[in-house]
Structure 1
Amino acid sequence: MTPDWLRNKSPDCCVAPALASVSPRKRPLENELEQANKLLLHDASNHHCLMHKCSVLVRSGKYCEALAIYDQAGLGDSPIAQLRYGHTLKIVGRLDDAVAAYRRAIDLQPDTGEAYWSLANLKTYRFSDAEIRAIRTRINCSRGNAENQSYLGFALGKALEDRGDYEESFRFYKRGNSIRRMQQPFSAERNRLNTGRQIRICTREFFAQSAGAGCAAPDPIFIVGLPRAGSTLLEQILASHSQVDGTTELPNIINLSAELGAKRRKSYAGLYPEILSQLSTEKRLQLGRRYIASTGLKRNGSPFFIDKMPNNFLHIGLIHLILPNARIIDMRRHPMAACFAGYKQLFARGQTFSYDLKSSGHYYRNYVRLMDHWDDVLPGRVLRVQYEDLVADAEHQIRRVLDYCGLAFEQQCLRFYETERAVLTPSAVQVRQPLFSHGLEHWRHYEQHLDVLKRALGSLLLRYPIAAP
């Protein structure tokens, strides 16, 4: 697999033989950085090597170092480099500079759908009439590839939403989602079966028999749930505490589950979670210690750190077995609001259920079904925070969360929007603002199109009734 940064390389690029045969995602980041530095010793001004080093630094969480190289080396006429520069600027909160980089990418390559979507994904950017006309022109171009058309569909959906044209906005959100769904199919049946397997294996009796093992480290605070349900907000609040490091959506638990499952083919169910019943005391201790060690690069030395991979709600049984003193918080949002917020969002990867309203409803039901199970078999283990309650009474909910985590109250947690830190998720801009309530029921603007979602959620809506508008 040829790395992205080597595609469309200039003829004099001398580094292709050294790296083209190795996938970047399979090499440890430390090795990648060392390799990039060695190549730059031979040609310190090689643009491709510099851009690759920036990519490695960003994936290592060293955003300021990457930006320093971007600023010094210059980006030339590469729209891809401008996009990456813009993404890094957004992560550290330099929004005006990010907008300029995305606009420069469009200037260099006017049909760059990802640049338009990146502007829309800032959530606060408002497209001009001229920009909307440009998107319309490109979205109607038959030559556009599917991925680019998906980016443009989501971007135009957001632009029209901001103007209050919800009817046409939904049409383009639907178009973008339809393309994405073909590219990344989701199996509702597999999701249902995997939920059932967790419930069958992880019983109250099983956990009672497995008590007293694992790694005793109290460091991790897991925030689980669905994407776009407020997890980044809660992470920002907790990361504003002097004793807590904010990290990213860490893949470490998911990687451990995949390793335990030894899955090799899509059609093969794998050994996980059934293999949990075979984990020895020694193995559970080893896995817990491995998790703590593997997250070290993302931490900054505080006693506690946050792992906010939302999909970890599927692996609470594993977390409990290997990290019995970890804190677990379920950040939940009303199903209509959460599912539609996901439907409007084009994710970088994963969350394939979100590209279809029916699948989103079924996924939410399985999520609640599994969380109810964890509450039953591990009573008091998971703290539930309702997004709407957090918005309505922030101080009470924040004190409640800090008490659960064993942390003293700090005023800075109420002023979380002032905390300067890197934020990688789509909520990066929103969590740098004070809390607001006007978006809680934004889905109602599209309600006439959401009957399929209501049917998929079914009786769950009795538990989360829809208040009269």
Structure 2
Amino acid sequence: MLLEKANQLLAENKLKEAEFHFKALLDANPENGEALFGLGRIALRLERYDAAVYLLQRACERLPYLLEPLHALADAFNGVHSPQDALTVLEYAKSIASHNPEPHYFLAQHYLTYGELDKAYGILQQALAMGEYPVKAYILFELVQFSRFNHEQNYLNELHHFLTLTNNLRLKMVCYYALGKSYDLLDDTEQAFNYFTLANKLQSQLTTFKTNELAPFYQQIISQSDATLIDSRYKRFTGTITPVFIIGMPRSGSTLLEQMLVSHESFASLGEDASISNQVVAYIEQQTQLPYPECLSKLDQKLISTARDIYIERLKQSPHVRPYMINKLPANYQSLGLIYLLFPNAKFINIQRDYQAVAWSVFSNYFAENEPYFCSLSEFKQYYDLYQQLMSHWHSVMPDALFDLQYELLVTEPEQTLSALCEFLGVKYSNRFLEFYKSNKPVATLSKAAVRQPLTDKAKDKYKRYETAMNRLVNEPKTTQEDQQTDRGAPQGE
């Protein structure tokens, strides 16, 4: 009963309460593998990777034939930058469940992250033949992303068949995204758009708020982070490291830019690191007893110094510490004022892309997060407008710290664009920027396969095939959209 309660609390993300229950179990029985597994998962969520490795190793010793603790341990090893240890764990998991596609899928994901695409593809193909498991939806989804199929040999039949076997909303949604991508690659734009619409409609059922509810929060950021606050920063601040934040909308090219920059010896990256919001902001909120952004009004030099040290400690955890340390979490744009107070030497690269191109890319890609703006064109337009308003404010109060970089120019005029960026950052341009695709540095975003290819502008205008359909969907009343979808049912072929 106590274990069931602990797992329920963990599922509800009530980490402190769950931790209390797991520790109570462990006090009663220090060999309780399930309790160790629970504590290890909590450590993972809190990004305490060293603790997670210790706890999960102990859990795996006591639960040697369970896959979940092994997969969690692999995540922990990746968290402490030990990919070889993660690979060893994943290969062991695959060996003890050789007829189960799930460990194959996790191993393939590891290979994808580190750019070994052929290995990943081969393992996914093996897993596909192992029967009808829930993970098959994700296996098919990943195989479709490789684009290694044609009109004669593809995954359409497997996807349609799987849909007849499940009523699980999320699995159906993943299949719909895969079908949309498949029909897009086969140049059937009508079917592609129908399936992407179905996928977004299903995912929107999982959302818990509306984008317009964020508007007061954005207005508070603007009012709290006024010119007076920004001007109060310690202008003589110097540091041995220059924090660089790549910000903007999702699907705007941040992963591509990051991989280009880390090809240069002066750069290293934390990836999409959330420690500003998860640790720094959380600390300031706790100290001031005020939520963000209201807590900014209570900042003093002592609080700023301690908050700065929290982020510096995060930087030190990187396997490589370079003069320029990148954080490419796009949503960090919400915290630019705070970051600038902590690091007056910080540089912000606002990567921009044609709105229609970004909207289409968001609409046609599966995001595991269930925010409304990831699964609705009209909701995304509201989110984009909020972003534009906030970026306009940041430009007005910290113009010298911001550089606007256009994705379309990055892929069509890379040398000129990157040279201008280098001048802003104060580094020398290098031809190595354009050899980014040769790297095996880990990439875990939706662009993990694309950035393993040489620079191309093929994706620049892809949205234009769907522009009319997108505009029609945005402008239709919601009730009309729902009625038409109900009348039409599933697209042809299901």
Q: Give the TM-score band, short-chain normalised.
A: 0.7 to 0.9
Q: Which position in structure 1 is the counterpart of 2:242?
A: 219
2-side partners of 1:215 and 1:349: how far apart? 37
SS of residue in 2 equivalent to 1:108: coil
Q: Which position in structure 1 is the counterpart of 2:157?
A: 133
SS of residue in 2 equivalent to 1:384: strand
| C-alpha contact (below 8 Å) 1:339/1:354 kept by paired residues | no
Q: Which position in structure 2 is the counterpart of 1:334?
A: 354
| C-alpha contact (below 8 Å) 1:150/1:175 kept by paired residues | yes
SS of residue in 2 equivalent to 1:74: helix
Q: Which position in structure 2 is the counterpart of 1:463?
A: none
1-side partners of 2:120 and 2:235: how far apart? 49
Report how many aligned residue pairs link the two structures: 441
Q: Which position in structure 2 is the counterpart of 1:203?
A: 226
Give 1:57 shift: 1.4
Structure 2, unaligned stretches of length 5 or more? 1-5, 12-30, 477-494
2:391 paired with 1:371:
yes
2-side partners of 1:217 and 1:287: how far apart? 17
Question: Normalising by structure 1, what TM-score?
Answer: 0.86
Give 1:105 shift: 3.2
2:275 paired with 1:252:
yes
2:87 paired with 1:64:
no
2-side partners of 1:121 and 1:261: how far apart? 41
Q: Which structure would you say has the larger RCO, counting Cα contacts within 8 Å and 6 or more residues apart?
A: 1
Letter in 2 for 1:117: F
Q: Which position in structure 1 is the counterpart of 2:206?
A: 183
Letter in 2 for 1:366: L
CA deviation profile, 1:68-113 (whole Å, cap 9, x unmatched): 3333553423332222111111001111221222233332343521
Q: How does 1:432-451 map to 2 (within 5 A)?
A: 432-451=452-471
CA deviation profile, 1:29-63 (whole Å, cap 9, x unmatched): 11121123345667878766544422321343432
2:366 paired with 1:346:
yes
2-side partners of 1:242 and 1:202: how far apart? 34
Give 1:431 shift: 1.3
CA gap of 1:17–1:290, structure 2 versus 1, over 3 A, is closer
SS of residue in 2 equivalent to 1:435: coil
CA deviation profile, 1:403-449 (whole Å, cap 9, x unmatched): 22221222211222222311111111111222212221111111121
Letter in 2 for 1:280: D
Higher helix share: 2
2-side partners of 1:113 and 1:208: how far apart? 52
Q: Which position in structure 2 is the counterpart of 1:95?
A: 117
1-side partners of 2:394 and 2:426: how far apart? 21
2-side partners of 1:198 and 1:453: how far apart? 32
Larger deviation, residues 80-89 vs 343-352 = 343-352
Q: How does 1:349-428 map to 2 (within 5 A)?
A: 349=369, 351-428=371-448
Q: Over aligned residues, Cα RMSD in angstroms? A: 2.8
Q: Which position in structure 2 is the counterpart of 1:9?
A: none
2:11 paired with 1:16:
no
Question: Normalising by structure 2, what TM-score?
Answer: 0.82
Larger deviation, residues 227-236 vs 344-353 = 344-353
Q: Which position in structure 2 is the counterpart of 1:465?
A: none
Pick one of 310, 323, 330 that aligns with 1:310.
Answer: 330
CA gap of 1:78–1:220, structure 2 versus 1, over 3 A, is farther
Letter in 2 for 1:354: F
2-side partners of 1:345 and 1:47: how far apart? 28
1-side partners of 2:393 and 2:47: how far apart? 38
| C-alpha contact (below 8 Å) 1:361/1:454 kept by paired residues | no
1-side partners of 2:92 and 2:395: how far apart? 53
Letter in 1 for 2:130: L
Give 1:342 shift: 0.8
Letter in 2 for 1:88: H
SS of residue in 2 equivalent to 1:358: helix
| C-alpha contact (below 8 Å) 1:245/1:300 kept by paired residues | yes
Structure 1, unaligned stretches of length 5 or more? 5-12, 264-268, 457-469
